[in-house]
Amino acid sequence: MKTVILWSARLVVLGLVSAFFFWAAQWTHAQTDAPRVDIAKIEGVIDPFTEGYVERVIDVAVQDHANALVFELNTPGGGLDVTRKIVERFLNSPVPIIVYVAPSGARAGSAGVFLTLGGHLAAMAPGTNIGAAHPVDAEGKDISGDLGDKVENDAVAFIRSIAQQRGRNAQWAEEAVRKSVSITEQEALAQGVVEIVATDVNDLLNQADGRVVKVQNQDVTLNTRGAIIRQVEMNFFEQFFHILLDPNIASILLTLGTLALVVEVYNPGAVIPAIIGVICLTLAAVALFGLPTNWAAVFLILVGIGMMVLDIKVTGFALTIGGVIAFVLGAFFLFRPFTPPEPTTPDVSVSPFVIGALTLLTVLFFVFAVSAAVKTRNAPTLMGTKPLLGASGVARTTLNPQGIILIKSEEWSAIAQDAPIQAGERVQVVSADGLTLHVKKSSSKT
């Protein structure tokens, strides 16, 4: 009887173990067969670092064997050359790309229109808009004359070719460039600019499932329902350089870098301020070359710095005052603060709060720096031995009668009038003969 019970228990355990492994295999198989979708975000100004990020994300999606790649888009625009390169990557991607203008309140402005139309599938969230893709110059203004016509016609041809290749409304795309028209997500859906209006990513993937898109000249049916989602974020360096192209950050780096170099000039050999200044100015240069910078303002800033530095060697502080004014004005006009950005160009103006803070920092810095300079200039200069007459010191060696004394933190050769004077005794300077002091015992005790 015991043997029957024992074998029964063994069979039950064996059955449970077999059932567990069968369930695990089925679960693993289900996970393996589940579709995969990678998701990335394109936010802010479209710049060269965005291009590098997009290229890496597409490569990751290929390595993941992703069924689709979703780019959540929210941008005011960016450079046309960079936009062309990103669109080229979209058009030649081996992975279906869904461009999703999201979240609510987001926009696909200027360069964002080209990117949205370049996706295999285009979608928008409620409360978003797309449009205003007219090309402008680095100052955010219309390009006039024959050059303006050439740039506009080239942009029109480019956006029409994208729309036609993706089967979208090419006429509206042309008007977005020529007339800077902008429409809501419902209008975009009705006019054939996008295919989907989705409340969130899950809704997007459910609506995209089963749609047929052309990938590298082949029809591909999207399999996205219930997909395993992987977020592909910007890495540290991509985030760092993307954030660097912020006009506020650029202004702060430029100001801190210049002030650090001025500290080094006031205190030669300090080294650390020089290192900080060079690093900040190098990063500022990277940002300035990537933004629509007013280079006349940069020149004004450099002139201001030069005036401040020159004033260190000049009596009076007129150059310092002029330098501060030039520096502040240059920082203020660095990104056209008085000119509102055109609807088709990113807002690259510096925040008034940042300008105010930098102005205050600069003024306070030079108030303290100039005060220190005034004290240095007004301090009496010790020339020869005359200022030492009557001063007290300590004998470093025995004076019998000659020896060494320490006075005002300096060692001097001395002759004792009332030798011998033992080391450590107090002495007082009576007279001087060249660089040799004549001393006597001081009445004060050590």
Cα separation, 231 vs 239, in Å, equals 15
Catalytic residue among 110, 180, 251, 349: 110
DSSP 252-305: HHHHHHHHHHHHHHHSTT--HHHHHHHHHHHHHHHHHHTTT--HHHHHHHHHHH
CA 61 from chain centre, in angstroms, equals: 26
| Alpha-carbon separation of residue 389 from 379, 412, 436 (angstroms) | 19, 13, 12
Tokens of 231: 């977020």
Of 244, 255, 251, 256, nearest to 335 by C-alpha is 251
Q: Residue 107 — φ and ψ, nearest 5°? A: -145, 155
Three-state secondary structure readout of 181-230: CEEEHHHHHHCCCCCEECCCHHHHHHHHCCCEEEECCEEEECCCCCCEEE
Of 186, 231, 204, 199, nearest to 40 by C-alpha is 231
List the beta bridge partners of residue 68. 37
Cα separation, 283 vs 249, in Å, equals 10
| Beta pairing, strands 410-416 & 402-407 | antiparallel
Three-class DSSP category at 37: strand
Catalytic residue among 150, 179, 214, 408: 150
Encode burial over 54-89: b for 16+ CB neighbours within 10 A, e otherwise.
beebbebbeebebbbbbbbbbbbbbbbebbbbbbeb
Residue 110 is a catalytic residue: yes
- The radius of gyration computed from the CA coordinates of the chain, to the nearest angstrom, equals 37
Of 124, 130, 98, 126, nearest to 111 by C-alpha is 130
Residue 150 is a catalytic residue: yes
Task: Say if residues 309 and 265 touch (Cβ distance below 8 Å).
Answer: yes
Catalytic residues: 110, 150
